[in-house]
Amino acid sequence: MLLVLSDEHKEHLGFLPEVDSAVVGEFGRIAVEFLRKGTNPKIYEGAARKLSVDAETVQHGVEGLMYLLTESSKLMISEVDFQDSVLVLGFTEDLNQLLLQLYLENRKEIRHILGELTPSLPHYHNLEWRLDVQLASRALRQQVKPTVTMKLHLEESGGDKSAKVLQTDPATLMHLIQELEKALAELKTTHCRRILRNIK
């Protein structure tokens, strides 16, 4: 599957052949760093001064690289497809190889970062449990009531953690285990296996 680059994108990336491959490598490193941590406009000014060009040109170049990397990682295109897509820009073979290396080394990490943008529910993190026996309360004395107190640790996609304290009785706990084991068994059925095998 080929990437289709817009004219504006091609124009922005047109800046790259005009500089050394070392500089392009540096831009690549900056692009990945910006994807990880967010952009820092001061870097553009510093680079612009060193290369005697507009800060805006540098910015477009780096942003063009960032977009190229994110789109390729999102679609998970193969090496061949990436090379063919970049061919359209008319760069030198060295530059193409550099870009390909940049893509292959960083795509897993970029996909992981993109994954954090997706809407998602809190994710299971851990479960702590405790067995209690209630002996008495203000309302009723001389009881023997076994309960299981659990602390469910959940994690949001942004990294925020929350913990919920919940309680259940032994009979309900058995029922919960039964239901969840059914859920696990479902993944091993032929229907699910067929889907997992065929949708790749």
Partner 1 sequence: MELSESVRKGLQSLADPTLFDLKTFSVLIELAFRSLLTAHADRSVLDQPELKHIDQKLLKHCHTAATTCILEGVKQNVDKSTISGIVLEIMKIRLKSGGIAHLRQLVGTTTYLCHTCAWRMLGLMQREQMYSTSHTSIGRCPPHINDVSWRLEYLIKNGHVHKVNEPSYLISLNVENTNNGGSTEEVNFSCTMEQLQDLVGKMKDATKSLEKAMQL
Select the span of 21-29, 47-55, 90-98, 189-197 touching partner 1 (CB under 8 A).
189-197
Identify the residue among 88, 104, 135, 166 touching partner 1 (CB under 8 A).
166
Of 62-121, binders to partner 1 (CB under 8 A) are 73-76, 111, 114-115, 117-121
Q: What is the distance between the alpha carbons of residues 78 and 200, in angstroms, rounded to a whole number? A: 14
CA angle 156, 112, 42 (to 5 degrees): 95
Looking at 134, 135, 161, 163, which residue binds partner 1 (CB under 8 A)?
134
| Nearest approach, Cβ of residue 128 and partner 1 (Å) | 8
Minimum CB separation of residue 141 from partner 1 in Å reads 6
Q: Residue 9: phi, psi to the nearest 5?
A: -65, -45
Query: How far apart are CB 176 and partner 1 at their closest, in Å?
Result: 5
- Give the whole-angstrom CA distance, residue 200 versus residue 191: 15
User: What span, in angstroms and rounded, lies between the C-alpha atoms of 126 and 92?
Assistant: 51
Q: C-alpha 89: how far from its chain's center?
A: 28
> In 10 A of CB 48, how many CB atoms?
16
Q: Does 6 bind partner 1 (CB under 8 A)?
A: no
Q: Nearer Cβ to partner 1, position 22 or 171?
A: 171
